[in-house]
Amino acid sequence: MASALPFTVRAARTSRALPSLSPVAAVGWRSLGVRMQSGINDPTVVDRCTAALEAALEPTSVKVMGAYDDPNGSHITIECVSPKFEGKRSLARQQMVFKAIWAEMDGQGGTVHAVDTMVLKSPSEVKDE
């Protein structure tokens, strides 16, 4: 079958031509920035992470934001004030947060790729400011 493409598509790590692939299939949907979106009534990644943090940490204040104001983004920012952080070091607080949102980050099915920023404080640290 002759390729209708103006160029030859080659597979990585091999020199054999792949004429049956379209440029999109050859490049891959992930590298083109295509993202699977949830339905209209489905909770967003931000909503699911917020609910998970509220259930696990019982915060007095929690704010989860998607990067670039995208509620279904793969990168999120978390600001949380919880009494459960009292007396804990930064690493332990981060571990508590990751444990709470692990279902959103786990493996291939996870929708969160990275937590860009975490601001985690106890209520006494907020009063001191």
pLDDT exceeds 50 at position 22: no
**Percent of the chain residues topping a pLDDT of 90:** 47
CB atoms within 10 A of CB 28: 9
CB atoms within 10 A of CB 93: 19
Q: How many CA atoms lie within 13 A of 53 on its CB side?
A: 28
126 and 81 Cβ atoms separated by less than 8 Å:
yes
CA proximity to 120, closest of 61, 39, 32 = 61
Q: Which range among 20-29, 42-51, 116-125 has the greatest average pLDDT?
A: 116-125
CATH for the stretch 45-128: 3.30.300.90
104 DSSP 8-state letter: H
What residue ranges do the domains of the chain occupy? Answer: 6-35, 45-128
**Least confidently predicted of 8-22, 36-50, 81-95, 115-129:** 8-22
Chain segment 29-80, per-residue pLDDT in tens: 343 344 445 456 788 889 999 999 999 999 999 999 998 878 777 899 999 9
